[in-house]
Structure 1
Amino acid sequence: MDEEDGELRNPFPSPPSHYTKYTTHNLALLALYNQRLPDHPNPIQHQILSDQTDVPEWPLTQLEKPRIDWILEEPDAYYDVFGERWFVKDKIPSLAELGGNQLYPEDPCVGAYSLRLPRSSASLSFPQTAVLHSLLAPPPTMSATGPPEWQGHVEWITVLGQNLMAAANDLRPVQARGNLELMMQRQLDLRREETKSLHAKCDVLEAKLKELRASAQLVSNFSSRENPTAADTVMTAASPIPSLDSFTNVQQEDVRKWAEEVG
């Protein structure tokens, strides 16, 4: 039950134990080792760090960062990290490197590289016909010691099939690059279409703004014609306006005179 619980708690494999070596103490020992190394003709780790404690048995140089300049100088550039080897340049091995019979040149500049697949596929038709012809032939006699005829044709078909698959694999990077170029071109076309649409909308908005400005100017001109001028407004404001008290006094006097006349 405990093992099952452990498997459930750890569904992924544990990381490599190499990371446990990157402790503060070990890194300090590495810095001290590199500092004292030029002064010691015999680069033995325990002798150089004899005055230190907890010196590991494994070489401290494993904690060094990979040197890119050293890596690229190697024909097969690789580096080791966490106990695993990683190659800098991924290369697809050719059919000849895998031990097969390669019928086309490795250099794409030699010959028509794009005609490998059509030629290989066209070359399969004749061996298939020859295999059918050899299978329909009468069986060999008892005195025949050589291999049957169909066996050679089958081997040749196998070689052609291997070359066909290898040539297709060699064209995969070219296909991937072509697909990437198409994707980038599509993105560029989309950006251009969006930019063109934005410019069209901006032109429409600019035309509407011009119409609104023209309408506002017409309304302003019409209002200036209908309303009084500023000088008339100033003169009207400067003329004295009788107060309400004067009107009240006049009305009371008239009422008193009218009452006396009537009485």
Structure 2
Amino acid sequence: MDDEDAELRNPFPSPPSHYTRYTAHNLNLLQLLNERAPDDPNPIQQEVLSDQIEIPEWPLKSLEKPRVDWILEEPDAHFTVFGDIWHVKEKVASLAELGGTQLYPSDPSVDRRPALLSILKSLLVSYTQLTSSLLAPPPTNSVGELPPQWYTHSEWLTVLSQNLMSAANDLRPVQARGNLESMMKRQIELRREETDVLHKKCDTLEGKLAELRQAAQTAFTTEDEPSEARPLGTPITAAPNSQNPTASAGGVTNDDVLRWAEEL
């Protein structure tokens, strides 16, 4: 009972019971069997592997991997997993294959726009006729077993709508591909914009650093220049005051550097 409850609580199906056969010993026996009887499709494994121990009763050939090339050669290539059938090449069934009335060409290489335009026009005309038939007075005489006009128009509208929906579903892969291309282009544009912003910020920082470097070099050059070699009219820069340790040469103080850093 506990096993049944655990099975019910498990959201995924249990693996098949023969998965326990894929042991290292059995796989080695299978390899040895293929080496000793390579051309025999159904060898007697007890005789071929008589010198081995623990030979299973079930055929070792069942451990062979499925031949994918055999599956692909089939017209309806599919494989089975836990009882579910999966097709190797997914194909969307057309409206005609599903039993409907298809009014546009099935070949994707043929231009469908003229047929779809005719379907759209017929849809509008049928809708107008359906509205007129609903507003018309009921017939006075019995027409027999012929269906009423509104029923005929509604059936034809159903066929036209199915064709439009089927044609739209056929274009979903193209739409998905176009949306993916648009998303990738947008991501590239955003990255380029972010890169441009970073380049501009780097250029601004390089300009600020160049100004600070030039100011520092000018200040040091002015301090090292002898007084007798100063040209006429050159102002004499006073030495930094020891009481104001925040002041630096060239008039640039630590407060200026901090203010510049906050602006960045």
Matched, 1:96 2:86: no
| Separation in 2, partners of 1:82, 1:49 | 33
Match of 1:15 in 2: 14
Match of 1:60 in 2: 61
Task: Report the number of matched residues.
Answer: 225
Q: Deviations over 1:126-159 (max 9, x none)?
A: 2223234444354374563444443332221111
- Structure with the bigger RCO (C-alpha within 8 Å, sep 6+) is 1
Match of 1:130 in 2: 129
**Structure 2 length as normaliser, TM-score?**
0.69
**Aligned letter for 1:220?**
F
Structure 1: stretches of 5+ with no match in the other structure: 230-263
Q: Deviations over 1:62-120 (max 9, x none)?
A: 541553x444444444344566543333221111111111111122331244x666654
Q: Return the offset for 1:3.
A: 7.6
Matched, 1:144 2:138: no
| Separation in 1, partners of 2:95, 2:78 | 22
Match of 1:203 in 2: 203
Q: Return the offset for 1:11.
A: 3.6
**Aligned letter for 1:196?**
D
Q: Percent identity?
A: 51
Q: Deviations over 1:37-57 (max 9, x none)?
A: 3253x5346467553544353
**Tell me, what secondary structure is at the counterpart of 1:38?**
coil
Match of 1:176 in 2: 176
Match of 1:33 in 2: 33
Q: Return the offset for 1:169.
A: 0.9
Match of 1:192 in 2: 192
**Aligned letter for 2:168?**
A
Closer/same/farther in 2, CA of residues 2 and 35 from structure 1, 3 Å limit = closer
| Separation in 1, partners of 2:32, 2:150 | 72
| Separation in 2, partners of 1:49, 1:84 | 36
Query: Does structure 1 retain, via aligned residues, the 8 Å contact 2:71–2:78?
Result: yes
Query: Does structure 2 retain, via aligned residues, the 8 Å contact 1:77–1:89?
Result: yes
Closer/same/farther in 2, CA of residues 39 and 201 from structure 1, 3 Å limit = same
**Tell me, what secondary structure is at the counterpart of 2:169?**
helix
Query: Does structure 2 retain, via aligned residues, the 8 Å contact 1:33–1:45?
Result: no
RMSD: 3.4
| Separation in 2, partners of 1:178, 1:200 | 33
Higher helix share: 1
| Separation in 1, partners of 2:29, 2:131 | 74
| Separation in 2, partners of 1:39, 1:58 | 16
Query: Does structure 2 retain, via aligned residues, the 8 Å contact 1:45–1:59?
Result: no
Match of 2:162 in 1: 162
**Tell me, what secondary structure is at the counterpart of 1:13?**
coil
